Amino acid sequence: MEKFVTLNASNLSSGSLLPIGFSSPCRKSAVSVQRRRVHVIRASIAVEQQAQTKVAVIRVGTRGSPLALAQAYETRAKLIASYPDLAEEGAIEIVIIKTTGDKILSQPLADIGGKGLFTKEIDEALINGDIDIAVHSMKDVPTYLPEKTILPCNLPREDVRDAFISLTAGSLAELPSGSTIGTASLRRKSQILHRYPSLNVLENFRGNVQTRLKKLNEGVVQATLLALAGLKRLNMTENVSSILSIEDMLPAVAQGAIGIACRNDDETMANYIAALNHEETRLAIVCERAFLTTLDGSCRTPIAGYACRGEDGDCIFKGLVASPDGTRVIETSRKGPYTSEDMIRMGEDAGQELLSKAGPGFFGN
């Protein structure tokens, strides 16, 4: 008997997408304000015992949150589309792995080891042969990869922008002075306080999307910011009050991107996931991670970076570093050919510029 995880997609959705300007984030678009009570989706995940006649061809490792599972099932669907034989029942097994980051919610990530805590146990399962591929949110992946693993595949990137969610206001600008915004992200905190110093930020506002929206409904905070990509993948965009432009809130490095890793000696799995790779997304992530690596970014460092293809086909990169209290924000931008070598160079050069401008002791670490 093998354990299989079945995601009940109907329980991940309580409405259709809103027509509120989901255009390319490289271009400005008007966003109509939608005010309504936030609907918290309580996703049900059923674990079923099913008799199997053969061992799974591909075991997919993932965290167990509704969003992580949605990403794993997106990966599964793309594998089946590329390799119809994998549609056979039991050919692809979803393996849920509990990570340290999921277990410890009472402390900031920086205090318990940083972003790698959302990937460490999954990487270990991959290296040990307990799973064949690992599906990660790329913004959770450290700038280094564990030995014996490679991450050659990125699925097409979702919308990179942040969504503003509130029961009482349509935007950050509409929040009364003294209002409290919940976020676990120093990147969001610093950019909010830089533009709206009269607002308060409740730190360590952690948990999955459903948990954060529940806290908002209970009045713990007056507003929160969430990645639009996750809300779209969960079919929960009816909760969005407005969408922040790239100019108002530069996204996290690799926000909206899904990465798929395998062992470096597993040619079979490397070939399977090669068919899923979206090269434009992969190159953008390479550029952004080169920027982050140069800055030696961590969960204690407010850093944002975004690379995309412009209308003329070139890469446009924007990056920033900030003081945690938002009193100082240093920005830069680059433009150049949309090729791996050039984009890595752009990311590294932008990082070096910001390091030089920030000076020693800027981050207080």
- The token pair that represents 144 in the structure block: 């280094």
CA separation, residue 162 to residues 196, 272, 306, 335 (Å): 16, 32, 13, 23
Q: Which amino acid is at 132?
A: D
| CA 26 – CA 160 distance, rounded (Å) | 10
> Is residue 287 a contact partner of residue 348, using CB atoms and an 8 Å limit?
no
Within 8 A by CB and 6+ apart from 154, the residues are 138, 257, 258, 259, 260, 277, 278, 281, 282, 285
Within 8 A by CB and 6+ apart from 124, the residues are 146
Within 8 A by CB and 6+ apart from 88, the residues are none
Q: Which of 123, 140, 159, 266 is catalytic?
A: 140
Q: Regarding beta strands 92-96 and 58-62, do their DSSP bridges make them parallel or antiparallel, or are they unpaired?
A: parallel
Is 314 tagged catalytic? no
- Give the catalytic positions in this structure: 140
